[in-house]
Amino acid sequence: MKSQLKAGALLSYIALFINSAISIIYTPIMLKLLGQSEYGLYSLATSAAGYVGVLNFGLGNAVIRYTAKYKALKDEQRCSNLYGMFCIMYGLLGIVALLSGLILTINADRIFSNSLSIDEVSKLKILMGIMVINISIGIGLGFFSVVVLAYEKFIFQKVISIVSSIINPLIVLPILMMGYGSVSMTVVTTIINFIVILINIYYCFRVLKIKIVFKKFEKSLLSEIIVFSSFIFLNLIIDKIYWSTDQIILGIFSGTAAISVYTIGASFTGYFSGFSAAISNVFLSRVTGMVTKEVSGTEVSDLFIRIGRIQYIILSFALSGFIVFGKEFIILWVGKAYSDAFVIAIVILVPMIVSLVQSMGGIILQAKNLQTFKSVIYAVTAIVNIFISIIFAQWWGTIGCALGTAIAFTIGNIIIMNLYYWKKINIDIPKFWINIFYMSLPFIISLVFGEILNKLVFANSWFIFIIKTIVFSIAYALLMWFTGMNKYEKDLFIVPFKKVLQRFGKWKLYKVS
């Protein structure tokens, strides 16, 4: 099982890299073939239909939790009965998702007719209809993919995910080149997702040999599952509202071109979140163990600061690089028509970085079972975001939407949550920010260096751009190493490097002998 965990973790990083690489390569080609307007329409359909996806009710976590429980008790009969209950629940939710999605699709013209033409509304309905079917099938039969995770078959699950993410653009691009548009692209995605579901179903019955029994449902267990999943369901809704509403608002007031530009700008938040998650996951079990053992508040606070510093080293490098070279990158990547995407990305990313650097706070809250406050704040912030973004979108379009999101995020996720971490959880937030302040010197110097480099050399090709980023990266690394990092952080890099050298030396000696 340890090999599954290690391989699964490694494959997670590989999947993150592959998905990011595919997105960077695939997006400009897709934009060129679809055009700005149709890409915006596709993004709008994805955001609108995506709301149906929250109707999985967060049951996946419940499947994993109760599977682990009954496997530990070696109670196969109750596990089989449980699976029967989950199958019915997933099936009903799939039907609810389909009906809700179809109602949303039918009424799309009423929502977006002010900013979209008749032809655009017609195509939007087709796109949303296909996506709703795709999502509904994924929910209705989603039980089987979750069971694979519940049995901790991480290698199989990650390999399937990686293969499908590679196959999708390989099939879609030739279709787009032949002149078929976003509708064909959506159909292909739906077919691939359905094939993945069928593979998971086959794996569950033929390899895992699960049994599903549709009888003897426990009402008390059903109530427990609903209560457990309701909290997750609430978080799914809040998260969807927060990160997908801007595209809907722009669809109502601004049109497809604005959505297209905003989508490109907002896409960078996913890359930064991936960096943060990759770092956080390494420390997850350690943090949870310390908190559940009820170690002193000082130890928890020191750990929060220590991990926050590590995350800041990586994320401040990514942010400084993007501030300096982001506009050049976007112009080279998708063209000058999307230059506003740089401003959108910066406005959203700057406050978001603070939350990402403090992501250990969320893990500490979960371990202490105090996550309710954060969820409430997140919900209020999401609602505030909607109202501010609606007003700002009518004043400043795409940048107004980004500014509304940034303001709401700053108030809720930074100011209020920092006060909560400090006063309620007893994390030394002033000490944290003092650390970040002193570590920001190389960040500021690197920004100045990068701007000077930009004035001396303009990147009008990918070759020059890559050379500039390499020079900048070396400068940042040296600045952070000598002026920002402490001994513990340097050892995180030095110790693994020494081990690699030692193993290489032993291998070389063995080869010679």
Are residues 186 and 298 both part of a single domain?
Answer: no
Amino acid (one-letter) located at 174: P
Identify whether residues 71 and 120 lie together within a single domain.
Answer: yes
Contact (Cβ atoms closer than 8 angstroms) between residue 49 and residue 101: yes
Please give the structure tokens belonging to residue 195.
């094939």
- Domain contains 179: yes
What gap in Å lies between CA 147 and CA 134, rounded to an integer? 20
Which of residues 190, 217, 244 is at a domain's end?
217
Which has the closest alpha carbon to 83: 15, 6, 16, 147?
Answer: 147
Residue 273: inside a domain, yes or no? yes
Does the residue 369 lie in any domain? yes
Rounded Cα distance between 53 and 101, Å, is: 9
**Pick from 39, 50, 113, 17: nearest CA to 263:** 39
Q: How far is CA 159 from CA 75, 156, 162, 172, in A?
A: 30, 5, 5, 20
Q: At what angle do helices 76-106 and 59-72 cross, to 10 degrees?
A: 180
Q: How far is CA 167 from CA 136, 160, 185, 188, in A?
A: 22, 10, 12, 10
171 and 192 in contact (C-beta within 8 Å)?
A: yes
Show pLDDT as tens, one digit a residue, over the chain (513 residues).
555 555 655 676 677 778 888 888 888 888 889 988 899 999 999 988 888 988 888 788 788 878 877 887 888 888 888 899 999 999 999 999 999 999 999 999 888 888 888 899 999 999 999 999 999 999 999 999 989 988 878 788 888 988 998 999 999 999 998 888 899 999 999 999 999 999 999 999 999 999 998 877 778 888 888 877 877 788 788 878 877 888 888 888 888 888 889 988 888 887 787 766 656 655 555 565 566 566 676 888 888 888 889 889 988 998 999 999 999 999 999 888 898 999 999 999 999 998 889 888 877 776 676 777 888 888 888 889 999 999 999 888 889 999 999 999 899 989 999 999 998 888 899 999 999 999 999 999 999 999 999 888 888 899 999 999 999 999 999 999 998 888 888 887 787 677 767 766 655 555 545
Residue located via tokens 């007031």? 253
What distance in Å separates the CA atoms of residue 39 and residue 101, rounded to the nearest whole number?
A: 21
* Whether residues 313 and 421 fall in one domain: yes
511 in any annotated domain: no
Do 134 and 157 lie in a common domain?
Answer: yes
Phi, psi (rounded to 5 degrees) for 369: 60, 45
Which residue among 217, 246, 273 closes a domain?
217
Q: In terms of domains, do 240 and 197 share one?
A: no
Q: Which of 341, 301, 449, 289 is nearest to 36 (CA)?
A: 341
Question: Residue 368 has what DSSP assignment?
Answer: T
Q: How far apart are CA 260 and CA 44, in angstroms?
A: 8
Say yes or no: 180 and 271 in one domain: no
**Domain for residue 112, yes or no?**
yes
Q: Indicate whether 224 belongs to any domain.
A: no
Domain endpoint, select from 217, 247, 271: 217
Residues 375 and 484 in one domain: yes
Residue 513 forms part of a structural domain? no
What the block records as the tokens of 371 is 């996550």
Distances (CA, A) of 194 to 51, 64, 378, 398: 20, 22, 33, 35
Instruction: Region of 112 please: left (phi>0), alpha (psi -120 to 50) or beta.
Output: alpha
Q: How many residues appear in the chain?
A: 513
Q: Are 334 and 461 in contact (CB under 8 A)?
A: no
* pTM given for the model: 0.80
Number of structural domains found in the chain: 2
Q: With contact defined as beta carbons under 8 Å apart, do 253 and 400 qualify?
A: no
At 441, list the tokens.
């010197």
Q: Cα separation of 49 and 47, whole Å?
A: 6
Torsion angle of the four alpha carbons 451, 452, 453, 458, in this order, in degrees rounded to the nearest 10: 80
Count of CB atoms situated within 10 Å of the CB of 11? 18
Query: Can you read off the two tokens belonging to residue 242?
Result: 């927060």
Spatial contact of 302 and 478, defined as CB atoms under 8 Å apart:
no
- Look at residues 361, 366, 369 and name the one whose alpha carbon lies nearest to residue 301: 361
At 448 the pLDDT is 94
Q: Report the candidate in 343, 341, 362, 354 with the shortest Cα–Cα distance to residue 410.
A: 354
Q: Are residues 202 and 254 in the same domain?
A: no
Domain enclosing residue 96, as ranges: 1-217
Sequence-distant (6+) residues with CB within 8 A of 259 are 40, 41, 43, 44, 247, 250, 251
Query: Has residue 33 been placed in a domain?
Result: yes
In this structure, what token pair is assigned to residue 344? 């959108």
Rounded to an integer, what distance in angstroms lies between the CA atom of residue 308 and that of residue 485? Answer: 12
Asked if 289 and 380 sit in the same domain, the reply is yes
Please tell me whether residues 253 and 365 are part of one structural domain: yes
Alpha-carbon distances, residue 153 vs 160, 281, 283, 390, 461 (angstroms): 11, 18, 22, 44, 44
| 3-state SS, one letter per residue, for 62-99 | HHHHHHHHHHHCCCHHHHHHHHHHHHHHHHHHHHHHHH
Same domain, 121 and 256: no
Residues 120 and 19 in one domain: yes
C-alpha angle 8/13/15, rounded to 5°? 85
- pLDDT reported for residue 292: 58
